[in-house]
């Protein structure tokens, strides 16, 4: 009898290997049980709740993000100041937006512009900073067409 009890304990401890689809079903069951234990849900809405949880899990696994309409932190017009650009994601004032978007949100400038429906020429750096860099580049001679130099003639 003790031998039988020991084998039953081993069976309970063993992790069953389930296909990925069944894993989502198990996770959905756990989530719905937890939700229903703390919230009153009419029986008629239970199937919709299960479908919502299951859809969210499978969507998250496939890389899709279920997201409602987000509002920008500030209006697009106010996001461009002379000395800064305001990130529409979180409202932070920045001089250079491109690097910040990549490090904080793993987003390229094209993705950012598309997400917020911005024009293709929307700046990624503050206008004052762009002018400063432009002046510096011109000062060191960038952007000029090189002057054609002929060979020097040997002085006789």
Tell me the per-residue pLDDT of 20-76, one tens digit each, with 9 for 90 and over. Answer: 557 888 888 888 898 888 888 888 888 888 888 888 888 776 665 555 567 888 999
Q: Which of 34, 61, 88 is the last residue of a domain?
A: 61
Domain count, the chain: 2
| Residue 82 shares a structural domain with residue 132 | yes
| Residue 110 shares a structural domain with residue 135 | yes
Q: What's the rounded Cα separation, in Å, for the pair 109 and 73?
A: 17
Residue range(s) defining the domain that contains residue 19: 9-61
First to last CA, the chain: 117
| Residue 23 shares a structural domain with residue 52 | yes
pTM, entire model: 0.50
Tell me the per-residue pLDDT of 93-138, one tens digit each, with 9 for 90 and over. Answer: 999 999 999 999 999 999 999 999 999 999 999 999 999 999 999 9
* Cβ-defined contacts of 51-57 (< 8 Å, 24+): 53/28, 54/24, 54/25, 54/28, 57/24, 57/27, 57/28, 57/31
| Residue 94 shares a structural domain with residue 49 | no
**CATH code of the domain in which 90 resides:** 1.10.10.1550
Is residue 42 situated within a structural domain?
Answer: yes
The pLDDT, as a whole number, for residue 11 is 45
Q: Which of 106, 30, 115, 28 is nearest to 71 (CA)?
A: 115
**What is the chain's length?**
156
The pLDDT, as a whole number, for residue 79 is 94
The pLDDT, as a whole number, for residue 14 is 45
Instruction: Name the band, by pLDDT with cuts 50, 70 and 90, for residue 151.
Output: confident
Is residue 118 situated within a structural domain?
Answer: yes
The pLDDT, as a whole number, for residue 85 is 96
Q: What's the rounded Cα separation, in Å, for the pair 130 and 66?
A: 36
Is residue 3 situated within a structural domain?
Answer: no
Q: Is the pLDDT higher at 87 or at 38? A: 87
Among all chains, which residue has been given the structure tokens 């002379």? 82
96: β partners: 125
| Residue 84 shares a structural domain with residue 36 | no
Is residue 48 situated within a structural domain?
Answer: yes
| Residue 85 shares a structural domain with residue 124 | yes
Is residue 92 situated within a structural domain?
Answer: yes
Is residue 68 situated within a structural domain?
Answer: no
């Amino acid at each position: 009898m003790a031998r039988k009890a020991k084998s039953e304990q081993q069976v309970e401890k063993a992790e069953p290997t389930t296909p990925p689809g069944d894993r989502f079903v198990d996770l959905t069951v756990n989530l719905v049980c937890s939700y229903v234990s703390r919230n009153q849900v009419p029986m008629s809405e239970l199937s919709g709740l299960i479908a919502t949880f299951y859809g969210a899990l499978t969507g998250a696994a496939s890389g899709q993000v279920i997201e409602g309409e987000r509002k920008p932190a500030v209006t697009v017009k106010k996001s461009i100041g002379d000395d800064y650009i305001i990130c529409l994601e979180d409202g932070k004032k920045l001089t250079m937006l491109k690097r910040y978007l990549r490090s904080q949100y793993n987003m390229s400038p094209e993705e950012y512009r598309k997400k917020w429906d911005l024009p293709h020429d929307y700046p990624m750096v503050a206008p004052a900073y762009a002018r400063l860099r432009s002046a510096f580049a011109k000062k060191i001679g960038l952007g000029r067409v090189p002057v054609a130099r002929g060979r020097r003639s040997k002085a006789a």
